[in-house]
Amino acid sequence: MIPADLSRTVVRAVRCAVEDGELPARAGVPERVVVERTRPGGVGDYATPVAFQIAKSAGRPPLDVAGVLARRLGAVAGIERVEVTGPGFLNFVMDPVSVDALVREVQARGRRYGFSATASVGIGVSIGSSSSSSASSGSGGLRARVVEEALLRIRATQGTGTGMGTGMGADAAAVAAAAAPHTAPVAKRDGDVVRLYGEDAARWAMLCVAPHESPSFSARLLVQDESSEFFRVRYAHARSRALVRNAARLGFGSGPGEVPDGGPLAQVLADYPLVLEAAAHRAAPEQVVRFLVRAADELLDFHYRVLPKGDEKPSAAHRARLALAEAAGTVLAGGLDLLGIAAPDCL
């Protein structure tokens, strides 16, 4: 099991518990369950508060509901064990991620990896040519508009987004409103922001912090080295493309397989569907930004091991490493696209 399956697996466990009478029918079955990475110091790899979500309608304490679900989920292949902590949190310790299976899924889905089956097409509006009009719009200015667009794209990956032409949902409206108070000083100089830092860097600065926090614009956005998170993410994507080009010059291409030294990078990539689901649920585009930084850092730590060195001949191991690096580049490009930021092949 890859982490993307975990949310659906929990929903099935709730449904089966209701059908078998372990939970009352009035408990209901949620359409989706948010599963997130366990915070530092927590138990296991992932956690969900689903027991609290259904306890009230079930008329049972969350701890009892969690116990019922833990017994069922502990027997699922791919889950090593399930622990209940606190008043009813479910915590999962997962079997190691299969790099081969993960890469094949990314290859099959491309930039739509991480999208739900009901995902709709994303939206996109350029701010570079419309900054002055957005500054005077009723949406709260440029920053509010950028946050709104990103959230709608992210929600669309989960089948819950709405297009710009049909109006935004209540969550998107609330996020845009939260961004608006901090947009006023930006709106007065939004043309300067885009002109000085470029559209992509301006978007990054507006989205890398929570909507209720003020974005920071500084010369660091233009720094072309690894001290800049914005640069690192796009540079990591460019490196993934360069690896593919250089491998072709050496006469080999990528081929999925297990990569013993690729576990940390694969684990981060496996988290992407859960990150999108949580960002959509919590109306938090900045969670996608934080993910992209993590993925870029892991890829930059890994990419030195991809190509043969010296007189070394390309092998199946090199092809598998290349496939993993290529998959990482695909995920980085997809995440940047959701934020409305370009992912150039060369930097």
pLDDT the model gives residue 319: 97
d(CA 26, CA 65) in angstroms, rounded, equals 13
**Confidence class for position 251, pLDDT limits 50, 70, 90:** very high
**Confidence class for position 136, pLDDT limits 50, 70, 90:** very low
Side-chain half-sphere CA neighbours of 25 within 13 A:
1
pLDDT of 265 > 90? The answer is yes
**Confidence class for position 121, pLDDT limits 50, 70, 90:** low
Phi, psi of 85 (to 5 degrees): -125, 160
d(CA 36, CA 68) in angstroms, rounded, equals 20
Phi, psi of 196 (to 5 degrees): -75, -40
pLDDT of 8 > 50? The answer is yes
Tell me what percent of the chain is helix, strand and coil, each rounded to the nearest 5. 60, 5, 35
- How open is the CA angle 141-142-143, to the nearest 5 degrees? 100
Decide if 268 contacts 186 (C-beta within 8 A): no
For residue 312, the 8-state DSSP code is P
Q: Give which of 120, 122, 178 is closest to 147, Cα–Cα.
A: 178
**Confidence class for position 77, pLDDT limits 50, 70, 90:** confident
pLDDT of 322 > 60? The answer is yes
Q: What's the whole-number mean pLDDT along residues 315-337?
A: 97
pLDDT the model gives residue 41: 76
pLDDT of 222 > 50? The answer is yes
Residue 317's CB is within 10 A of a number of other CB atoms, namely 16
The region of weakest confidence among 133-142, 262-271, 321-330 is 133-142
**Confidence class for position 190, pLDDT limits 50, 70, 90:** low
d(CA 268, CA 6) in angstroms, rounded, equals 15
Of residues 30 and 186, which shows the higher confidence score?
A: 30
The region of weakest confidence among 209-213, 252-256, 313-317 is 209-213
d(CA 171, CA 294) in angstroms, rounded, equals 26
62 forms bridges with which residues in the sheet? none
Element containing residue 336 per DSSP (H, E): helix 316-339
pLDDT of 212 > 70? The answer is yes
User: Cα 132 vs. chain centroid, distance in angstroms?
Assistant: 31
CA dihedral (278, 282, 288, 293) positive or negative: negative
Which residues make Cβ contacts (< 8 Å) with residue 343, sequence separation at least 6?
Answer: 234, 237, 332, 333, 336, 337
Which residues make Cβ contacts (< 8 Å) with residue 185, sequence separation at least 6?
Answer: none
Residue 43's CB is within 10 A of a number of other CB atoms, namely 15
147 forms bridges with which residues in the sheet? none
pLDDT of 181 > 70? The answer is no
pLDDT of 191 > 70? The answer is no
Q: What's the whole-number mean pLDDT along residues 16-29?
A: 91
Q: What's the whole-number mean pLDDT along residues 257-282?
A: 92
Could you give the angle at which helices 99-109 and 316-339 cross, rounded to 10 degrees?
50
Q: What's the whole-number mean pLDDT along residues 272-294?
A: 94
pLDDT of 161 > 70? The answer is no
| Amino acid type, 158 | Q
